[in-house]
Amino acid sequence: MIISDQLRHYSESSHRSWVKTKAVFTKNSLLIKSYQVMQRWENNYMKSLAAIATSKGGNVLEVGFGLGISAGYIEQSKKIKTHIVIECHPDVIKQAKMKFKRQLATDRMILREGFWEDITPQISDKTFDGILFDSCPLESGVEFFQFFPFFTEAYRLLKDDGVFTYFSDEAKKISPAHLTKLKKAGFHNIKFKICKVRPPITCEYWKHNSIVAPIIKKL
């Protein structure tokens, strides 16, 4: 995978400090490096992303465990054969192992510990029927979105009739910036649905009452 020097530099230092910082789980949220990584109000949005990622059944890849909300919905799907989750943070990995102990004891759910940047290059082309990408920026004030570098990997890892979705960070539609990057990665069938959400006033990362759930296919 080709990543720019800027991204490589950002990755190496931020990866190191991310895994060293303790994760704080509260009843409704996950905080790492004292910023809001995930909150429970996203429940219905996660349900929609999981429904998209499992719509073809088969093998599903999920990047970012967080509170395990989308993982729970993916696991509920009767159609899927396998569910691989990639998560890098040691405290989050611990939670995943506790929360999904029974599921992880089977071959159906597999937890891969580490950064997707190190793990996905080990996975063969066209392995997955569905991919759900929901990582997060590992530093505040970064000038690019964490999901853009994954688009070419998503294309490579997806079967020809597979479907890719991701936390879009967009409220009403897929913007030209995302469309350009998705098309450059090779995706031509780009649709979305709108999910209504009600983030609490204390939520620092989302202020809108809707979020785009992308439905991205190759053809």
List contacts with ligand SAM (CB under 6 A).
37-38, 46, 63-70, 86-89, 92, 115-117, 134-136, 138
Is residue 217 within 8 Å of 164, Cβ to Cβ?
Answer: yes
Alpha helices in the chain (DSSP H): 5-20, 43-53, 69-76, 90-99, 101-104, 116-119, 151-157, 176-185
**Rounded Cα gap, residues 24 and 61, in angstroms:** 25
Task: Give least dist CB 89 to ligand SAM, A.
Answer: 4
| Minimum gap (Å) between residue 32 Cβ and ligand SAM | 6
- For ligand SAM, give the closer residue by CB, 42 or 129: 42
**Residues 196 and 210 sit within 8 Å (Cβ to Cβ):** yes
Four-CA torsion 118, 213, 35, 176, nearest 10 degrees: 80
Indicate the residue whose CB is closest to ligand SAM.
66
The β-bridge relationship of strands 109-113 and 80-87 is parallel
**β partners of residue 195:** 211
CB of 218 to ligand SAM, least distance (A): 23
Per-residue burial over 26-49, b if 16 or more Cβ lie within 10 Å, else e, is eeebbbbbeeebbbeebbebbbbb
Nearer to ligand SAM by Cβ, of 46 and 163: the residue is 46
Judge whether 166 and 50 are in contact, CB under 8 Å. Answer: no
Q: Which is nearer to ligand SAM, 213 or 218 (CB)?
A: 213
Nearest distance, CB of residue 69 and ligand SAM, angstroms: 3
Residue with Cβ nearer ligand SAM (117 or 129)? 117
- Least separation in angstroms between residue 174's CB and ligand SAM is 19
d(CA 78, CA 63): 20
Positive/negative CA dihedral, 107, 32, 21, 167? positive
Judged by beta carbon, residue 89 or residue 218, the one nearer ligand SAM is 89
Our CB check for ligand SAM shows the closer of 116 and 206 to be 116
To ligand SAM, the closest distance from the beta carbon of 86 in angstroms equals 5
